[in-house]
Amino acid sequence: MELHIAQDLDQLSRDLADWITEHIQSTLERQDRYTWSLSGGSTPRRLYELLTRPGYKEKIPWEKLHLFWGDERAVPFDDERNNGRMTYEALLRHVPVPEDQIHYMRTDIGPEASAAAYEKLLHQYFGATGTSFDLVLLGMGDDGHTLSLFPGLPVVHEQEAWVTSFYLPTQQMHRITLTAPIVNRSAQVVFLAAGAGKADTLKEVLEGPFRPEQFPSQVIRPSAGTLHWFVDKAAAARLNSHT
Ligand SMILES: O=C1O[C@H](COP(=O)(O)O)[C@@H](O)[C@H](O)[C@H]1O
């Protein structure tokens, strides 16, 4: 695991924007497409906005990107809670990724049908390879969830399905989410986490015993790829490795 600590969310977002730009460029020197699973939540918005700015935008071959999402709230695309909408607003409406390479999780059909369609799509992309995305960007909630893998839910232990959906009573909505088996096939997995509200949980996830029911982010362990944590000082404050 590689840990990167920055002063604050702004610096963290810049550091990660640099890292992603470099990773896209170096990956595309040996292959002709780059597959990236994007994260929702509030934390990556600054990163997405930066990637549209001079210094980043012109360095990224957007036409070679194939974009996916890690999870989705089953609300209409124009609902501000929709992860695809947030990414569209902050990033995708500003950059020339071909539309047929942008794979939103659909919320205009039922969540089960949407998960089944996404699973089929991912098998078309990755089924025979034994690998998956070049990059999965993840967030971590204050409660230790990642994707829509929430504490105490059976989905945390999913071993077969790559995509699933379920009703989340605490938020009164369905969720559609990738699972650990597909994420753990990825070449690079990057968690982006910031803020003091995540400090206690981050310590448990990185330095505590393996308790995935309580801290689902612990199930993300790429089998052959590399796991990175990009965190700010506030989130890292309780880590032994904090500098
Ligand atoms: O519910 C979600 O939250 C996590 C973390 O969000 P953040 O607001 O704390 O950054 C996010 O990764 C996930 O995609 C989202 O659905």
72-88 confidence digits (pLDDT tens): 999 999 999 999 999 99
Does the residue 142 lie in any domain? yes
Nearest CA to ligand 1 atom 1: 41
Pocket lining: 111 vs ligand 1, CB cutoff 6 Å: no
Average pLDDT, the chain: 97
Does the residue 242 lie in any domain? no
Does the residue 27 lie in any domain? yes
Q: Say how many domains are in the chain.
A: 1
Specify the residue for token string 């390879």.
129
* Other residues' Cβ atoms within 10 Å of the Cβ of residue 32: 7
Does the residue 69 lie in any domain? yes
Pocket lining: 177 vs ligand 1, CB cutoff 6 Å: no
For residue 243, pLDDT over 60 is answered with: no
Structure confidence at residue 167 (pLDDT) = 97
Pocket lining: 71 vs ligand 1, CB cutoff 6 Å: yes
Confidence of residue 242 (pLDDT cuts 50, 70, 90): low
For residue 111, pLDDT over 80 is answered with: yes
CATH code of residue 228: 3.40.50.1360
**Residue 102 carries which DSSP code?**
B
Does the residue 102 lie in any domain? yes
Residue 77 makes CB contacts below 8 A (sequence gap 6+) with 84, 85, 104, 107, 108
CA distance 35 to 101: 9
Does the residue 76 lie in any domain? yes
Does the residue 243 lie in any domain? no
Given the cut 0.85, state whether the ipTM is greater than it.
yes
- What average pLDDT does range 55-77 have in this prediction? 98
For residue 102, which phi and psi values (nearest 5 degrees)? -105, 110
Q: What is the pLDDT of residues 11-52, one digit of tens each?
A: 999 999 999 999 999 999 999 999 999 999 999 999 999 999
Residue 204 and residue 184 in contact, taking contact as beta carbons nearer than 8 Å: no
Domain that includes residue 133, residue range? 2-236
Does the residue 107 lie in any domain? yes
Pocket lining: 43 vs ligand 1, CB cutoff 6 Å: yes
pTM higher than 0.95: yes
